[in-house]
Chains A and B, each alone.
Chain A
């Protein structure tokens, strides 16, 4: 069985199918919807059990929205998310969907629809409600970017970390302090920190508290939303180390969102590069950095500063800035900034295609050359 850095390649924990998240832009006298911000537009991906899946991109490209929609903090506009579902069931759903598309007869169509609705209700995270959603939260957790704002300043550490246990009633009330201490020790804090407020901690320690809160329910899937961007270099290394040890100890699957390419290169198994709500390239980390296929990925890796003064780079920085997602450019969304744009890029949108060896890329130039 093929594996990268000890991750089983075949077993998938999360399937995202053509996920969309649009935000309405309200305006006019009656606050009608006048436009839409396509924050996440038709994203499909699969995350394998036990891997660290990196998502990179500039600010406003929809990284965080993708993650939040995946764990259902946000309601998706369209699309399906299957979490921890057997492959068989997913293929069954896919088959039914195909049948529905090809079926002409109205009666059989409605029976297929009913069956599908039932399956969606049972397995599709995007359609979960109420107690099912509540139970899902035990499995999927998130660590936010800035621990100063994500921790309640008026709660003690023991209450912050203990609250998820209280809400989900996974252990008896009496046993909560014991559990809290256990997880705090795991993230490198101790008994002396239990009765303190968040403001008494340094940035790195605060982030550890946030990590402890996310992991206290023993989730299977954790979203790390730029967890290292607000801390110093020396602390960053400590946190990254912690993430790796925790992943091994608790069998976690990560979705690691960052704009720091240096970090993503070191921690993740596979990386998806996002641009204006779309995935433009998806491959194993080594491949993304050694042989980037999409011009945007190339520009991104080139513009990241390298901490080595002897390597003076010859580069032309990417011109312009990310266009507004309300009116994304027609065709390939990157074409106004792309140095290699050709005519087809201005009219037709490229699809994410396999360019060999599970290296997916959405670019007209690539699909041409491989053909």
Chain B
């Protein structure tokens, strides 16, 4: 029996209903992510890389609408279809089992809260009970118990039975009395500092107390990664996390992601347009073009033996010293009126009659090598 995939995306169709017309952003996307692997998604701007990841997280906003397909996620041995869940249930998964690192860390962090506030928000949302218990434990372990400590213990016992109890919520609004939260916050702080330390920050205490504008780009990106890893997710989606960073900082972040994967045992979906990063980091690659996954293969296989004409053209368009530049003729078609049949047909050197009529199926050519092209298969 095969190992179960962490995520299975089947025939995902997504459209944006805009004033200019219906944008067919995703047209039958097929993907699967195996446990503890880094899957790279590569493609040009507007090919649907980011939208796919948003769909997996269940945050497609209007005018976007998912028309068809399945996104099955394996959470603790249970198979869940994200598209069938309602908002409340997805909220419990999002940030805990699946989390995301976005491209622009500065835009993603809230400028008026400290790093500690922002990371602890995730922890409070998903792991509140755990921290209440921890705080209760430390209170109980104190050798000398004052009256205040005994009062705290009684509150914490109530709190741990019902984390959302009305009484506690009421108490936390009253000045002086709301100090009962201090042991709880201390526990959170320990965890946050620990988390920041594991991301290779030299001075986690200082970083925890600083505001986003006090951090450099690389540091801010680390904070965002820390936030995403706060609940030890099974799947981490990275949407071009290094695009705006310098090469030396990019190398640091890539090294970090590689180390974290080993440490946290998460699968990673890494979205990028940089084939160099793909080659360095990923184990398998999905190549996307105009809303389709056109090829999915292990990274060495893909670079050595690219099957789809688009993949080939993409690899050839990497500038190499001493060789003339090769580019892909034509431009990416508009997705409002996409070409019929294969969407790459107008730019393809191997286009046949059938390519203009029928959309190629996503077929398995070899073990672990899938391609959507009429040149292959029957």
Question: Across the interface, which residues of A come within 8 angstroms of B304, CB to CB?
Answer: 310
0 or 1 for each of B262-301: is its CB under 8 Å from A? (1 = yes): 0000000000011111111000000000000000000110
Which secondary structure characterizes the binding site on chain A? helix
| A203 with B318, Cβ < 8 A, contacts A58-B248, A304-B276, A321-B249 known | no
Question: Across the interface, which residues of A come within 8 angstroms of B317, CB to CB?
Answer: 233-234, 236-237
Residues from 124 to 168 in B contacting A, C-beta threshold 8 Å:
none
Least CB separation from B328: chain A residue: A234
Question: Across the interface, which residues of B come within 8 angstroms of A238, CB to CB?
Answer: 325, 327
Contact across chains for B216 and A266 when beta carbons are under 8 A apart = no
Is B247 interfacial (CB 8 A cutoff)?
Answer: yes
Q: Report the count of interface residues on B (CB-CB < 8 A).
A: 42
| A321 with B328, Cβ < 8 A, contacts A234-B44, A307-B275 known | no
Contact across chains for B255 and A309 when beta carbons are under 8 A apart = no
0 or 1 for each of B308-334: is its CB under 8 Å from A? (1 = yes): 000001110111110111111001100
Shortest distance from the beta carbon of B301 to any chain A beta carbon, whole Å: 9
Contact across chains for A318 and B303 when beta carbons are under 8 A apart = no
Question: Across the interface, which residues of B come within 8 angstroms of A244, CB to CB?
Answer: 325
Identify B318's interface contact among A235, A262, A302, CB under 8 A.
A262
| A305 with B319, Cβ < 8 A, contacts A58-B248, A233-B44, A259-B246 known | no
Least CB separation from A240: chain B residue: B325
Shortest distance from the beta carbon of A30 to any chain B beta carbon, whole Å: 25
Contact across chains for A266 and B331 when beta carbons are under 8 A apart = no
| A204 with B299, Cβ < 8 A, contacts A300-B248, A308-B279 known | no
Is A152 interfacial (CB 8 A cutoff)?
Answer: no
Contact across chains for A300 and B247 when beta carbons are under 8 A apart = yes
Question: Across the interface, which residues of A come within 8 angstroms of B277, CB to CB?
Answer: 305
Q: Could you tell me the distance between the alpha carbons of A6 and B207 in the complex, rounded to whole angstroms?
A: 53
Least CB separation from B243: chain A residue: A229
Least CB separation from B47: chain A residue: A232
Identify A233's interface contact among B219, B249, B250, B314, CB under 8 A.
B314
Is B60 interfacial (CB 8 A cutoff)?
Answer: no
Interface centre among B273, B275, B323 (most CB of A within 10 A): B275
Contact across chains for A241 and B327 when beta carbons are under 8 A apart = yes
* Interface Cβ pair total, 8 Å cutoff: 117
Is B365 interfacial (CB 8 A cutoff)?
Answer: no
Contact across chains for A204 and B331 when beta carbons are under 8 A apart = yes
Is B254 interfacial (CB 8 A cutoff)?
Answer: yes
Contact across chains for A318 and B319 when beta carbons are under 8 A apart = no
Shortest distance from the beta carbon of A257 to any chain B beta carbon, whole Å: 14
Contact across chains for B320 and A232 when beta carbons are under 8 A apart = no
Question: Across the interface, which residues of B come within 8 angstroms of A78, CB to CB?
Answer: none
Question: Across the interface, which residues of A come within 8 angstroms of B279, CB to CB?
Answer: 305-309
Which secondary structure characterizes the binding site on chain B? helix
Question: Across the interface, which residues of A come within 8 angstroms of B320, CB to CB?
Answer: 266
Is A315 interfacial (CB 8 A cutoff)?
Answer: yes
Residues from 33 to 70 in B contacting A, C-beta threshold 8 Å:
44-45
Q: Could you tell me the distance between the alpha carbons of A244 and B321 in the complex, rounded to whole angstroms?
A: 14
Identify A58's interface contact among B247, B255, B273, B276, CB under 8 A.
B247
Contact across chains for A241 and B325 when beta carbons are under 8 A apart = yes
Question: Across the interface, which residues of A come within 8 angstroms of B324, CB to CB?
Answer: 241
Q: Could you tell me the distance between the alpha carbons of A222 and B319 in the complex, rounded to whole angstroms?
A: 22
Least CB separation from A232: chain B residue: B44
Is A111 interfacial (CB 8 A cutoff)?
Answer: no
Q: Could you tell me the distance between the alpha carbons of A267 and B323 in the complex, rounded to whole angstroms?
A: 10
| A259 with B247, Cβ < 8 A, contacts A237-B326, A238-B327, A305-B280 known | yes
Contact across chains for B274 and A266 when beta carbons are under 8 A apart = no
Contact across chains for B247 and A237 when beta carbons are under 8 A apart = no
Question: Across the interface, which residues of A come within 8 angstroms of B249, CB to CB?
Answer: 58, 321
Question: Across the interface, which residues of B come within 8 angstroms of A204, CB to CB?
Answer: 331
Contact across chains for B300 and A310 when beta carbons are under 8 A apart = yes
Identify B275's interface contact among A202, A233, A266, A302, CB under 8 A.
A233
Question: Across the interface, which residues of A come within 8 angstroms of B331, CB to CB?
Answer: 202, 204
Contact across chains for A307 and B276 when beta carbons are under 8 A apart = yes
Question: Across the interface, which residues of B come within 8 angstroms of A310, CB to CB?
Answer: 300, 303-304
Identify A234's interface contact among B247, B251, B252, B327, CB under 8 A.
B327
Residues from 212 to 234 in B contacting A, C-beta threshold 8 Å:
216, 218-219
| A317 with B44, Cβ < 8 A, contacts A233-B318, A303-B247, A304-B276 known | no
| A304 with B247, Cβ < 8 A, contacts A203-B45, A241-B325 known | yes
Q: Could you tell me the distance between the alpha carbons of A302 and B321 in the complex, rounded to whole angstroms?
A: 16
Contact across chains for B280 and A321 when beta carbons are under 8 A apart = no
List, sorted by A's number, 14 A–B pairs whose CB atoms are closer than 8 Å.
Answer: A58-B246, A58-B249, A233-B273, A237-B327, A263-B319, A305-B251, A305-B274, A305-B277, A313-B280, A317-B248, A319-B252, A321-B218, A321-B249, A322-B246
Known: A306-B280, A307-B278. 12 other contacts (CB 8 A): A58-B249, A232-B44, A234-B44, A236-B327, A237-B317, A259-B246, A261-B247, A262-B318, A285-B321, A305-B251, A313-B280, A321-B219
The 9 lowest CB-CB distance pairs between A and B, nearest first, are A305-B276, A303-B251, A237-B327, A317-B251, A58-B246, A234-B328, A238-B327, A266-B319, A232-B44
